[in-house]
Protein backbone atom coordinates (compact mmCIF):
# COMPACT_ATOMS: atom_id res chain seq x y z
CA UNK A 1 0.00 0.00 0.00
CA UNK A 2 1.49 3.39 -0.96
CA UNK A 3 1.98 5.97 1.78
CA UNK A 4 -0.91 8.34 2.39
CA UNK A 5 -0.66 11.83 0.92
CA UNK A 6 -0.47 14.54 3.60
CA UNK A 7 -2.99 17.34 3.08
CA UNK A 8 -1.95 19.59 5.98
CA UNK A 9 -0.33 19.61 9.41
CA UNK A 10 -2.18 21.58 12.09
CA UNK A 11 -0.62 22.65 15.40
CA UNK A 12 -2.95 23.06 18.37
CA UNK A 13 -2.84 23.31 22.16
CA UNK A 14 -5.47 21.57 24.23
CA UNK A 15 -5.89 20.83 27.90
CA UNK A 16 -4.92 17.22 28.60
CA UNK A 17 -7.88 14.88 28.89
CA UNK A 18 -10.32 17.80 28.56
CA UNK A 19 -10.43 18.68 24.85
CA UNK A 20 -13.87 19.57 23.46
CA UNK A 21 -15.13 20.11 19.90
CA UNK A 22 -15.75 23.77 20.77
CA UNK A 23 -13.50 26.45 19.22
CA UNK A 24 -10.64 26.37 18.44
CA UNK A 25 -10.65 22.58 17.88
CA UNK A 26 -13.94 22.21 15.95
CA UNK A 27 -13.49 25.01 13.40
CA UNK A 28 -9.77 24.25 12.89
CA UNK A 29 -10.38 20.60 12.05
CA UNK A 30 -13.75 21.18 10.40
CA UNK A 31 -12.23 23.33 7.66
CA UNK A 32 -10.17 20.28 6.65
CA UNK A 33 -13.24 17.94 6.70
CA UNK A 34 -12.08 16.08 9.82
CA UNK A 35 -14.61 15.02 12.44
CA UNK A 36 -13.74 17.04 15.62
CA UNK A 37 -15.50 14.46 17.81
CA UNK A 38 -13.12 11.71 16.70
CA UNK A 39 -10.09 13.95 17.39
CA UNK A 40 -11.43 14.86 20.85
CA UNK A 41 -12.02 11.21 21.76
CA UNK A 42 -8.54 10.10 20.63
CA UNK A 43 -6.74 13.12 22.16
CA UNK A 44 -8.50 12.72 25.51
CA UNK A 45 -7.67 8.99 25.58
CA UNK A 46 -4.00 9.74 24.82
CA UNK A 47 -3.73 12.46 27.48
CA UNK A 48 -6.02 11.26 30.28
CA UNK A 49 -3.01 10.91 32.62
CA UNK A 50 -2.21 14.63 32.15
CA UNK A 51 -5.54 16.16 33.22
CA UNK A 52 -5.53 19.96 33.03
CA UNK A 53 -1.98 20.23 31.62
CA UNK A 54 -1.67 22.37 28.49
CA UNK A 55 -0.49 19.98 25.79
CA UNK A 56 0.63 20.94 22.30
CA UNK A 57 -0.08 18.51 19.48
CA UNK A 58 0.45 18.26 15.76
CA UNK A 59 -2.43 16.80 13.77
CA UNK A 60 -1.37 15.38 10.40
CA UNK A 61 -4.41 15.33 8.11
CA UNK A 62 -4.32 13.15 5.00
CA UNK A 63 -6.18 13.62 1.72
CA UNK A 64 -8.50 10.69 2.58
CA UNK A 65 -9.63 12.71 5.68
CA UNK A 66 -7.91 10.38 8.16
CA UNK A 67 -5.49 11.88 10.65
CA UNK A 68 -2.72 11.15 13.14
CA UNK A 69 -2.07 12.98 16.40
CA UNK A 70 1.46 13.62 17.64
CA UNK A 71 1.54 14.67 21.30
CA UNK A 72 4.34 17.03 22.37
CA UNK A 73 5.58 17.96 25.85
CA UNK A 74 3.96 20.89 27.68
CA UNK A 75 5.49 24.33 26.98
CA UNK A 76 8.55 25.30 29.03
CA UNK A 77 6.64 28.33 30.33
CA UNK A 78 3.89 26.06 31.71
CA UNK A 79 6.45 23.80 33.41
CA UNK A 80 8.32 26.81 34.86
CA UNK A 81 5.11 28.32 36.26
CA UNK A 82 4.28 24.98 37.86
CA UNK A 83 7.81 24.64 39.34
CA UNK A 84 7.79 28.23 40.66
CA UNK A 85 4.23 27.91 42.01
CA UNK A 86 2.96 30.97 40.16
CA UNK A 87 -0.14 31.57 38.05
CA UNK A 88 1.39 33.80 35.39
CA UNK A 89 4.67 35.39 34.38
CA UNK A 90 5.67 39.01 34.93
CA UNK A 91 4.47 41.80 32.67
CA UNK A 92 7.81 43.53 33.28
CA UNK A 93 10.31 40.67 33.53
CA UNK A 94 13.39 42.92 33.74
CA UNK A 95 12.18 44.81 36.79
CA UNK A 96 9.43 42.68 38.40
CA UNK A 97 10.39 39.18 39.49
CA UNK A 98 7.42 36.91 40.21
CA UNK A 99 9.01 33.63 41.27
CA UNK A 100 12.11 31.56 41.71
CA UNK A 101 13.25 28.10 40.69
CA UNK A 102 16.59 26.39 41.22
CA UNK A 103 19.00 25.12 38.59
CA UNK A 104 18.08 21.49 39.30
CA UNK A 105 14.42 22.23 38.41
CA UNK A 106 15.55 23.95 35.19
CA UNK A 107 17.65 20.91 34.28
CA UNK A 108 14.66 18.60 34.91
CA UNK A 109 12.45 20.75 32.66
CA UNK A 110 15.16 20.77 29.96
CA UNK A 111 15.44 16.97 30.20
CA UNK A 112 11.65 16.62 29.87
CA UNK A 113 11.57 18.99 26.86
CA UNK A 114 14.64 17.50 25.15
CA UNK A 115 12.73 15.53 22.49
CA UNK A 116 10.90 18.69 21.33
CA UNK A 117 13.97 20.96 21.28
CA UNK A 118 16.06 21.35 18.14
CA UNK A 119 19.25 20.26 19.91
CA UNK A 120 20.80 17.14 21.40
CA UNK A 121 23.10 19.13 23.71
CA UNK A 122 21.79 19.26 27.29
CA UNK A 123 23.65 22.51 28.11
CA UNK A 124 21.95 24.25 25.14
CA UNK A 125 18.55 22.93 26.26
CA UNK A 126 19.18 24.30 29.78
CA UNK A 127 20.05 27.69 28.26
CA UNK A 128 16.77 27.67 26.33
CA UNK A 129 14.80 27.05 29.52
CA UNK A 130 16.86 29.70 31.37
CA UNK A 131 15.96 32.20 28.63
CA UNK A 132 12.28 31.36 28.99
CA UNK A 133 12.52 31.81 32.77
CA UNK A 134 14.24 35.18 32.37
CA UNK A 135 11.54 36.35 29.92
CA UNK A 136 8.85 35.35 32.42
CA UNK A 137 10.41 37.22 35.35
CA UNK A 138 11.46 34.04 37.15
CA UNK A 139 14.86 34.05 38.83
CA UNK A 140 16.98 30.91 38.79
CA UNK A 141 18.93 30.23 41.98
CA UNK A 142 22.36 28.83 41.23
CA UNK A 143 22.53 30.07 37.64
CA UNK A 144 25.35 32.30 36.48
CA UNK A 145 24.19 35.92 36.46
CA UNK A 146 21.19 35.16 38.68
Instruction: Name the CA radius of gyration of the chain, rounded.
Output: 18
Share of the chain above pLDDT 70, in %: 96
Cα 128 to Cα 126: distance, rounded to the nearest angstrom: 5
Domains for the chain: give ranges and CATH numbers: 6-71 (3.30.1550.10), 76-141 (1.10.10.250)
Residue 52 and residue 16 in contact, taking contact as beta carbons nearer than 8 Å: yes
For the packed helices 103-113 and 76-84, what is the interaxial angle rounded to 10 degrees?
Answer: 150
Candidate from 23-27, 36-40, 86-90, 142-146 with smallest mean pLDDT: 142-146
Mean pLDDT of 1-18: 86
For residue range 42-68, what is the model confidence (pLDDT) as tens digits? 999 999 888 888 899 999 999 998 999
Cα 83 to Cα 137: distance, rounded to the nearest angstrom: 13
Q: 33: which residues sit within 8 A by CB, 6+ positions away?
A: 65
Q: How confident is the model at residue 146 (pLDDT cuts 50, 70, 90)?
A: very low
Amino acid sequence: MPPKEVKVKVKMMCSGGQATPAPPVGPTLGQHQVQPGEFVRRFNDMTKSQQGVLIPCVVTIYTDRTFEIEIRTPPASFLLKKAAGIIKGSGKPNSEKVGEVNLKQVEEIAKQKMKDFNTDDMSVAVKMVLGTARNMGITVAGAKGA
